[in-house]
Amino acid sequence: MTDGARWLRRLAQRVWAECLARSGALWWVQRRLRSQGAVVVLAFHRVLNEQDGRPSFRLPGMIVRPETFAAVLKHMARHHLPVDAAEAEPGGKPGRIRIALTFDDGWADNAGLVTLLSECRCPAVVFVCPSLCGQILPFAAETPTAADRALSWEEIRRMRRAGIRFGAHTRTHAALPELRAEEARAEIAGSKADLERALGEPCTVFAFPYGRTSPALRRQVREAGFARAFALWRGVWTEESDPWDLPRVCVWERSFTGLTGRFSPVMFDYCVFWRAWRANARHLAAREPEPSRVSAGKAA
Ligand SMILES: [Zn+2]
């Protein structure tokens, strides 16, 4: 797609979001989410400014700029209810929509977010790959800089002391459906054991790398002793959700900004609530019935 076509697409999306806002549709969808007691889980990767990570900007879909991230947190703290993805439970009538923040891969820049997260009282869960800690991450830019490494164990421990929670994301960021069952088990259970050894506490949450999962892998995650697992399909978490296939909304800079490049509350409502709501309905309609799913959900 050319730059011009991309810009036109962005323009059309923003005009559409504005129409939905003015018609009351964005307000309506939030009312539905509140009445369902839904949790919306956001999946971030990196919070990076252009100077620190110019080569990394070849993967812009993983990046939010620091000023946008700060605006998102302040907006969330003011209008919604930030919750911990590891402890949140959907249901009830919370009055505000619960939003949980998660970060995938444990990029080193996440260490710089601790103060802002605690000032805005936003809990966060960072999903890390224990075998990659401190290393340049394999899916970083072709010519990685120091900014393209994963958090070190020292940084992880420091962040944990400051209240950030850590979940497992396999040992090596493996594409689990491509592995044999015993290899997948070693990646899943091994990442849990490594984190528990390093942090001295139970690790209860898991996120599937690339969001790639299957019924057999979800069963393995449950058997490894995780209480819940997050995928990357866009949707909302309700009481009906499968605890080992929880949806998340993958977000990046453009999820939150208008055409001027500044934070836009309309784009936030559109990307976080409207698109998640719409995708949720499509996902549930398309999903094949899984006989084990109902009993697995009850066992949680
Ligand atoms: Zn990942």
Q: Can you read off the two tokens belonging to residue 167?
A: 């979940």
**254-270 burial: b if 16+ Cβ within 10 Å, else e:** bbbbbeeeebbbbbbbb
The domain spans of the chain are 3-299
Convert the pLDDT of each residue in 145-204 to its tens digit. 777 899 999 999 999 999 999 999 999 999 999 999 999 999 999 999 999 999 999 999
Ligand 1 centroid to Cα of residue 115, in Å, is 24
Ligand 1 centroid to Cα of residue 107, in Å, is 10
Q: What's the confidence (pLDDT) of residue 284?
A: 78
Convert the pLDDT of each residue in 106-156 to its tens digit. 999 999 999 999 999 999 999 999 999 999 887 666 677 777 899 999 999
Ligand 1 centroid to Cα of residue 105, in Å, is 5
Q: What's the confidence (pLDDT) of residue 140?
A: 62
Per-residue pLDDT for 291 more than 80? no
Q: How far apart (Å, rounded) are the C-alpha atoms in residues 166 and 300?
A: 20
Q: What's the confidence (pLDDT) of residue 289?
A: 58
Superfamily of domain 3-299: Glycoside hydrolase/deacetylase (3.20.20.370)
| Torsion sign over Cα 119, 121, 122, 128 | positive
Ligand 1 centroid to Cα of residue 18, in Å, is 32
Ligand 1 centroid to Cα of residue 44, in Å, is 10
Q: How far apart (Å, rounded) are the C-alpha atoms in residues 125 and 159?
A: 11
Amino acid at 113: L
Convert the pLDDT of each residue in 199-234 to its tens digit. 999 999 999 999 999 999 999 999 999 999 999 999
Ligand 1 centroid to Cα of residue 39, in Å, is 21
Ligand 1 centroid to Cα of residue 4, in Å, is 30
Ligand 1 centroid to Cα of residue 210, in Å, is 6
Ligand 1 centroid to Cα of residue 138, in Å, is 11
Ligand 1 centroid to Cα of residue 8, in Å, is 30
Q: What's the confidence (pLDDT) of residue 138?
A: 73
Compute the radius of gyration of the chain from its Cα atoms: 19
Convert the pLDDT of each residue in 53-67 to its tens digit. 565 555 778 899 999
Ligand 1 centroid to Cα of residue 110, in Å, is 14
Q: What's the confidence (pLDDT) of residue 143?
A: 72
Q: How far apart (Å, rounded) are the C-alpha atoms in residues 33 and 261?
A: 28
Ligand 1 centroid to Cα of residue 94, in Å, is 31
Ligand 1 centroid to Cα of residue 129, in Å, is 8
Q: How far apart (Å, rounded) are the C-alpha atoms in residues 103 and 125?
A: 6
Ligand 1 centroid to Cα of residue 271, in Å, is 21
**What Cα–Cα distance (Å) separates residue 3 from each residue in 6, 98, 289?**
5, 36, 41
Ligand 1 centroid to Cα of residue 90, in Å, is 24
| Predicted model pTM | 0.92
Per-residue pLDDT for 104 more than 80? yes
DSSP the chain: --HHHHHHHHHHHHHHHHHHHHHTHHHHHHHHHHHHT-EEEEEE-EE--TTTTTGGGGSGGGEE-HHHHHHHHHHHHHHSEEE-TTT----S--SS-EEEEEEETTBGGGGGGHHHHHHTT--EEEEE-GGGTTSBPTTS-SS--GGGBBPPHHHHHHHHHTT-EEEE--SS---GGGS-HHHHHHHHHHHHHHHHHHHSS---EEE-GGG---HHHHHHHHHTT-SEEE------B-TTS-TTSB--EE--HHHHB-TTSSB-HHHHIIIIIIHHHHHHHHHHHHPPP-HHHHHHHHH-
Q: Stretch 2-20: mean pLDDT, rounded?
A: 91
